[in-house]
Amino acid sequence: MRPAILLLSGGLDSATAGALVRKRFRLHALSFRYGQRHAVEIRAARRVARSLGIRDHRVMSLDLAAWGGSALTDRRIAVPRNRRIGPGVPVTYVPARNTVFLALAAAFAESIGAKNIVVGFNVLDYSGYPDCRPRFLRAFERVLAAGTKAGKGWRIHAPLIRMTKAQIIRAGAAAGLDFSITHSCYDPDRRGRACGTCDSCVIRRRGFREAGVKDPTVYG
Amino acid sequence: MRPAILLLSGGLDSATAGALVRKRFRLHALSFRYGQRHAVEIRAARRVARSLGIRDHRVMSLDLAAWGGSALTDRRIAVPRNRRIGPGVPVTYVPARNTVFLALAAAFAESIGAKNIVVGFNVLDYSGYPDCRPRFLRAFERVLAAGTKAGKGWRIHAPLIRMTKAQIIRAGAAAGLDFSITHSCYDPDRRGRACGTCDSCVIRRRGFREAGVKDPTVYG
């Protein structure tokens, strides 16, 4: 099987993306401890990697909180609560974060002879993040074709890109994913329990409701 | 003055690039401790930042040696000596390194409201690195236009891109740069002294000779 790097956050999207492609690729997972408020997601990422049978899971440290610029990396910026999620880039956008993550996934990929990267990005339910859009991914493939020794042939696979959260949850459930091991909350309490009111919790809860799947998350 | 991020390695190219644009931009510098064999270059980067009057110089740690794949990040791969430098990607190419560095420069830039990045990349004397080419830089600008909150208007400035090493050295000298504070060697000894025989030393020495400028470097 061809090797691929799975960008694995520990959330339900990247876990589902991994579950959907695991039969097509030999997956290597990459997660980041980037100074995020919800670093507890790394524990979830480890659980997900294990459940997907991924033996090579790297966790890289990267201090994006050094410059902050996001509610996720700067404690002085509050995480919005129970807001009506509309268009526009939210304060939880981390400057160029997915550009950085894809660049590092490509570095890891090239070192093991892989040219495929798998991500859980999607744009339907929450389109505020510019670095989840299809044209960003296509542009990034062109950067890799131009700027790597490996050259042409890179593919960034985003199997959920046009799915709603409910569709993602149904797809993950159908693939046998245990959602109780995933973590979505941006602002968990000290024990790592989901707040239930940040954008990520709001979208997750609504997704389970719309999917008609029981949400195993314990909200604080 | 508009702010810009200078990718500063401590070598003579990035130092010269900084010297050439310092009147056009308010420079913030970014260097990486990425597991490179020649981490001593970080000390040079600090000296260069100081000499350019850059007050905000960040040094980020990033473990690219975790996966290696280059003579610069894996001690088991030897640095070539006194070779005749020809076409082809050398073993000192670090997988997707400049993609990673530009991504992090963009993240830093976005957090301070900058859309300009300055690099010392050049392709004439040593065109083996795919991630120094103009089309890579243009492709990267398109990634940033598509994938950042800041959107369109990003510029990656590579003022040395089509200069020979001798031209770069003349330009740096004309801009008042003290080359003795820079470091180019890929494989310095324990005291940080340049080897004189790696590709980087070979090109540097030849550049000074061709430029008719005295090389202040002490080779080991």
The total of structural domains in chain B comes to: 1
Angstrom distance (rounded) from CA A18 to CA A119 = 8
SS3 state at B176: coil
> Is residue B77 in some structural domain?
yes
pLDDT, residue B124, reads 83
pLDDT, residue A143, reads 98
Q: Which percentage of chain A shows pLDDT scores above 70? A: 100
Burial A97-115 (b: 16+ CB within 10 A, else e): bbbbbbbbbbbbbbbeebb
Angstrom distance (rounded) from CA B203 to CA B197 = 9
A103–B110: do the CB atoms touch at under 8 Å?
no
Which residues in chain B are closer than 8 Å to A64, comparing Cβ atoms? 107
Average pLDDT, chain B: 96
> Is residue A219 in some structural domain?
no
> Is residue B90 in some structural domain?
yes
Which residues in chain B are closer than 8 Å to A60, comparing Cβ atoms? 62-63, 66
Q: Please state the ipTM of this predicted complex.
A: 0.97
Average pLDDT rounded to a whole number, residues B188-203: 96
pLDDT digits (tens, 9 = 90+) for A86-99: 889 999 999 999 99
CA nearest neighbour of A26 among A48, A62, A57: A57
Please indicate if any CB of chain B lies within 8 Å of the CB of A69: yes
> Is residue A218 in some structural domain?
no
Q: What single-letter amino acid sits at B144?
A: L
For residue A160, what is the domain's CATH number? Answer: 3.40.50.620
Residue ranges of A 20-39 with Cβ closer than 8 A to chain B? none
A143–B99: do the CB atoms touch at under 8 Å?
yes
Please indicate if any CB of chain A lies within 8 Å of the CB of B61: yes
Instruction: Provide the H-helix boundaries in chain A.
Output: 12-21, 41-51, 97-112, 134-147, 165-174, 199-211
Phi, psi of A90 (to 5 degrees): -75, 165
Please indicate if any CB of chain B lies within 8 Å of the CB of A148: yes
Place of tokens 């245990």: A178
The residue range of the domain holding A106 is 2-211
pLDDT digits (tens, 9 = 90+) for B72-96: 999 999 999 999 988 899 999 999 9
**Angle between the N-to-C axes of helices B12-21 and B165-174, in degrees from 0 to 180, rounded to the nearest 10:** 50
> Is residue B45 in some structural domain?
yes
The pTM for the full model equals 0.97
> Is residue A216 in some structural domain?
no
pLDDT digits (tens, 9 = 90+) for A33-45: 999 999 999 999 9
- Please give the residue of chain A at the shortest CA–CA distance from B74: A111
Nearest to B142 among A58, A93, A139 (CB): A139
Question: Between A and B, how many residue pairs show a Cβ–Cβ distance under 8 A?
Answer: 147
Please indicate if any CB of chain A lies within 8 Å of the CB of B152: no
Q: How far is A8 from chain B (nearest CA, A)?
A: 17
> Is residue A82 in some structural domain?
yes
> Is residue A145 in some structural domain?
yes
